[in-house]
Structure 1
Amino acid sequence: MTKHLASGTASSRRKSRKAHFSAPSSVRRNIMSASLSKELREKYNVRSIPVRKDDEVTIVRGGAKGREGKVTSVYRLKYVIHIDRVTREKVSGQSVPLGIHPSNCVITKLKLDKDREDILERIKIGRELRKKQQS
């Protein structure tokens, strides 16, 4: 059995890096996904979802591990999110938000609206269909 790769993906380091760093905002949105907590995963039958402002997250990797808070901004250009109370003091005394990559976070509470519920439902249906096809 052969493994099928997506035709648009390159295995070349150079091409992969170029695709990553010159990706448009719509593609960056998907790259900036975070896992859901165990409770949310069981509730929605979804493993990960793109992070959004006002989601509540816990940092599970890196220097700020264990801190939690609400997402204050999603900085797609830099591939980072800013979380309230996760800041660093500058020498001048001013506090600046630490940029955290969403893959190092777990979403603990979702900001739900109609569109987000539709996305969750769509992912859930797709997962169930895939499960039926495999069995």
Structure 2
Amino acid sequence: MAKASSSIHSSRRKSRKAHFSAPSSVRRNIMSAPLSKELREKYNVRSIPIRKDDEVTIVRGSNKDKEGKVTSVYRLKYVIHVERVTRDKASGQSVPLGIHPSNVVITKLKLDKDRESILARIKAGREQREKAKEDAN
């Protein structure tokens, strides 16, 4: 069987190099998070790149079930910071904990016209694929 996508390498070494040396524009897509069931039904979109001011629920890890607004998206480290998800240092200073976007679910989107157009584009493509699938049968 042929590779699913010829643009992505199947070599572990090359895949890791591509991941860790990816530019910010590519990291944005890698840092996508799934939408909640309600949002998924509303927009007909499964996941979307996360951004500041989205509201999320953590679904994996030691901070599971905590909710909050995304305060920053740290693309260099592939993590996001969520409000009230912090750790106290020995000095008493509170620092935000980095959470990978795959471990959260977006519960509320920060919408502007650019993001709405992205959602519409993804939805249109998905509907077109489903229609093509039905026509093939």
- Interval containing the TM-score (normalised by the shorter chain): over 0.9
Counterpart secondary structure, 2:4? coil
1:107 corresponds in structure 2 to 106
The alignment's C-alpha RMSD in Å is 0.9
2:121 corresponds in structure 1 to 122
Superposed CA deviations along residues 81-116 of structure 1, whole A, max 9, x for unmatched, are 000000000011000000000000000000000000
1:74 corresponds in structure 2 to 73
- Matched pairs, number: 134
Matched, 1:12 2:7: no
Counterpart secondary structure, 1:86? strand
Give, as a single letter, the amino acid of the residue that structure 2 aligns with 1:115. D
TM-score by length of 1: 0.97
2:96 corresponds in structure 1 to 97
Counterpart secondary structure, 2:51? coil
Distance 2:36 2:4 in 1: 29
Distance 2:2 2:102 in 1: 26
Q: 1:3 to 1:132 in 2, by over 3 A?
A: farther
Q: CA deviation at 1:4?
A: 4.7
Counterpart secondary structure, 1:116? helix
Seq. identity, %:
80
2:27 corresponds in structure 1 to 28
Structure 2 unaligned spans of 5+: none
Q: 1:132 to 1:4 in 2, by over 3 A?
A: farther
Distance 1:63 1:126 in 2: 37
TM-score by length of 2: 0.95
Distance 2:45 2:107 in 1: 13
Q: CA deviation at 1:134?
A: 1.0
Residues 20-29 or 2-11, more deviating: 2-11
Matched, 1:56 2:75: no
Distance 2:26 2:64 in 1: 27
